[in-house]
Amino acid sequence: MPAAKLAQPADLPNPAVALPPEAYRQAVDQADLAISITDARANILFANEAFSRVTGYSAEEIIGQNESVLSNHTTPAALYQAMWSSLAARRPWNGRLLNRRKDGTLYLAELSISPVIGQGGQASHYLGMHRDVTELHRLECLVSNQKQLIESVVDAAPIAFALLDSTGRILLDNQEYKKLVTDLRLPEPAHTLLDSLCPDWRDTLITQISQCTFVNRETRIDRPGSRPRWLSVTTSVIDMHGDDADSYFCTTGQPGLLLVIADITSLREEQERRRATTLQAVLAEEERTAAIREGLSAALFRLEEPLNIMTSAIAVLSRRDPASARVLQDALSASREHMDTLRQVIPQSPQEIIVSVNLNEILRDVLEICTPRLLTAGIVVDWHPAATLPSMTGRPLQLRMLFKALVDNAIEAMNVKGWRRRELSLLSAVDGDRIVISVIDTGPGIPPDWRLKAFEPFFTAKNGSGKHIGTGLSRAQQVVADHGGIIDLDESPSGGCAVIVEFRLDGDPI
């Protein structure tokens, strides 16, 4: 179907009729852009009204003058040479020149000069169009200066900045942020921090970016072979306008997320040193109490065996010699009373409040406390923490006691005269919905048939066949079970012992 033709008003000229030359003149003369036409030597032959408004020269004053009358004579000669070279090659030229008005004031002119090619193939005239861009240049300089000032201030700031778009792409950062990339050996520290502080940020950044905002949240990033870094992060939403053509008429911009990252490692290290001193004293006291508790429990457990035998003997004796049976029953009852009294004086385990804990911090505390023993035993520690570890609910003191017992057992396993390879590997990782902690030593290892017995109360094989298990595994298993986890023993690649502890992220301590 042919396209429908638009109806032409009766009073409009037929577009097929040629435009009169006078219409061309009027259109050029009344144009808001300063237009001039010169001969081949740049002598002005025509200037429109806008030309007079910009330069201050009337048409009568300027016609016949050379275009150089407008020059301030401070424009670099190389610029004029480039202009005439382009025009001589019959190519248009665009650029900016510093001009002077009739009243002597200066203005920056943005020019576009096109050669008019005659029948001989040479430029017979030049068409010049220019406008006063002095104010535009001032605004451009103002924006550029402000941009440089902001960039200088941001780069000189002692804190890191990173601006993310809705897809998580880094749009802007500063020198401190680039240092974080190098120091932490992470492609984008901002992503790692958000993974730790706002796990759902990738989805909410697009749908509800305001849910990604928070103030002064702290997180810890552990790196193998380096000290941990403590960072405080504040996020805010920044409204940004797109620079593409499609966004020109949009009233709302595309928001971005600004991260302000402060390194508080020195402050936290000082706090950690003070806390470690206190914690060491608390753990030492709890270990002493636990040893007393375990010793008394072991004694009561051992005493139960002869008392049970006496109970059986009384049952037999009561039929043959009732009088002797009564005497023996009185002694048994007295023994039971004394044992009950002994049970009452056994120190109770501390009742801890269940809180949110980070196992990397727990493990770091344990290594800090065990450092003197590790150095004395000549053990090399290979610490491989997950860069960030989700928090779990638990009892911090019990968890520290758990991992300290495992590290102490590993130290004792390798601290054997003549044992050369002494390495302890400590790893933390996230595997799906579980946190996995591995304590691996290069000691003598565990026979397969002992791996279940090792968790029995009071089991030890220190004086057995040269293999080592250590003590406290029953207590360790109880702590793990109380936190809804599992503990397993396996052989390490070196033939030593590998203790694997797993906790579910959604598990609740008992």
pLDDT at 154 over 90: no
C-alpha–C-alpha distance, residues 317 and 459, integer Å: 35
Backbone angles phi, psi at 95, to 5 degrees: 180, -175
320 or 469: whose pLDDT is higher?
Answer: 320
C-alpha–C-alpha distance, residues 365 and 362, integer Å: 5
C-alpha–C-alpha distance, residues 317 and 89, integer Å: 132
What percent of the chain lies above the pLDDT cut of 70? 88
Return the minimum-mean-pLDDT range out of 314-323, 372-381, 461-470. 461-470
Whether the Cβ atoms of residue 409 and residue 455 lie closer than 8 Å to each other: no
pTM of the model: 0.47
Whether the Cβ atoms of residue 410 and residue 441 lie closer than 8 Å to each other: yes
Give the bridge partners for 13, in sequence order.
none
Give the bridge partners for 254, in sequence order.
240
Contacts of 191 (CB under 8 A, 6+ apart): 168
Grade residue 462 by pLDDT with cuts at 50, 70 and 90: low
**250-295 residue pLDDT tens:** 666 678 899 999 999 988 888 877 877 777 777 777 777 767 776 7
Taken in order of first residue, the domains within the chain and their CATH numbers are 21-136 (3.30.450.20), 157-240+254-263 (3.30.450.20), 269-344 (no CATH), 355-504 (3.30.565.10)
**398-422 residue pLDDT tens:** 898 899 889 988 998 898 888 888 9
Closest C-alpha to 194, from 231, 222, 157 = 231
C-alpha–C-alpha distance, residues 168 and 162, integer Å: 11
C-alpha–C-alpha distance, residues 482 and 51, integer Å: 89
What pLDDT was estimated at residue 457?
62
Closest C-alpha to 435, from 485, 396, 481 = 485
**59-108 residue pLDDT tens:** 999 999 999 999 988 888 899 899 999 998 999 999 999 999 999 999 99
Whether the Cβ atoms of residue 67 and residue 38 lie closer than 8 Å to each other: yes
Q: How many CB atoms lie within 10 A of CB 327?
A: 13
Grade residue 465 by pLDDT with cuts at 50, 70 and 90: very low
Whether the Cβ atoms of residue 67 and residue 93 lie closer than 8 Å to each other: no
What pLDDT was estimated at residue 422?
93
